[in-house]
A and B are shown apart, each in its own frame.
Chain A
């Protein structure tokens, strides 16, 4: 797999992933809980309800996203450092660890199920990513330019 030049090298990318996932969660949480608070408020208080729902819940969504993304990135870097290769298995193993460590307070069964779920999810995501990559490569495959016909031109023959 070719190097991804839009991402930074490993130890510092964890910070960036924490921040990026947190920002994504906060902005998505604003939209989600804004709509939810608006719909669940009585008439006349809908804007206040949306605002208070955003204030109460969007940072929590952001925090959950951020912790998930940061942990995943940390485990991804650790797995890369141990295995010394880059392939979809990195993400799947990191997903296993992430799901497991986030559910570790729920007992052994919960940890195991959550880890397997998370690994499967990451596996599906990696699979879809690979499919898109192959499709893009197939779409942008190098085309040979049309070569001139190797015939005798009549002007030189004469």
Chain B
């Protein structure tokens, strides 16, 4: 039966059908749903690891144990997992091992636009790149076959438009795969210099074997065209845009495996056409390969290496007139994402801004604390960077910034890679203040459990990290907990901790307002007779609060009754702030 299926769900379906029985991942847009859907199959053990390095090492362990295994992450997650990555490339696998990575061209929800195909080349690991949901299923099945046949981990590379588009698929039954026996083999699995030196030539030979395989494999296919003045080489979602614009006009070499790339197949294709154009998002990976093997192609000089493509972009770049619409002549105000009404981060960020603090930021919903009117963040780099960078900042300033600088980091991000930075603060002794924004969930990626929440991926009760005890145990003696809905308390505690001549951790604790179990007081009531329109309540940037015709107005469809706005008001306009 035909079904519409999200690309990421299709990857999970592929895992199921291919007999995969072990998944360990860390959430990250646009990769998260692969693991969430995989967890719905009883035949697959699935877990959220604290970070991508742990996830990949865990999945490698399961592969070593003889099971078909998977590890999923977003593009920047591969940076975290890069350490084991480059060495599991040497050891190879026992049960098949797939690393799922999702790139985000256009940066819909990411801090950079890195092209993870570079990792496949650098680590010498093959990479398959599906262009829709049906291919996502088929390529995952193929990937396990390649992984086991060539004794290599393998990438499945998604991008936002493949991961988050639904297209038509047909389901098949699960292949039952027996667990392989684990046999001790130090020369293969103990990567100390003597053994690694023997493995490296095996890896190079494997790449040559994979190139030979790529020459004739079904997933690198030529689609005939009726105009041979141009031939197009493409892959992933770019293939869809090319076909949308040109249909069957030009011959297309559609590549399913992006590393290693075939040589003769490309040379032969180029001979059948007059000009070869490579259409690929981000960097010129296919283009560089073509030029390296002596095939003259056009690519990045036409398309550039920034942002997402679309059918109109491909059309215009290749001289085809694209449809145009009619826009309003006036500017339409932007609608940037904002912290939700009732978000516990709001009160805390207002307090940071009010105290004019320098704030080292991190990755999560709270990055929105950088947006007006809160504008309370100075830097955002990557997972965990807030805690590490405040230490360097304060050390370099010889204590001059200790009393006006904080780091902010969410509970899941702190577990991912913040705790190591905190260990450094305690060990190397900077007088830094770290605020853990504990909203009891991984928020931005859509509510995933983590080691601080007390539940695992399958929703069962799990060991729950005691954040206060953890911080004390690494050597932080001053650990305080505040309620971010209480502005006076936040203000007092932050001031006290900044003044102390020792490192501190402040845990700002309130569950995410979108969690189903969180009960809200209900929309706050206002007495507009008392409102003078001073706009004090607007300084917290709540989407539920507006001033209309000089009086405050509450959007009852959004307001949760958190009462933070009421604490901004000097005229008792807000009434009935009650506990839920």
A and B are partners in one complex rather than unrelated chains: no
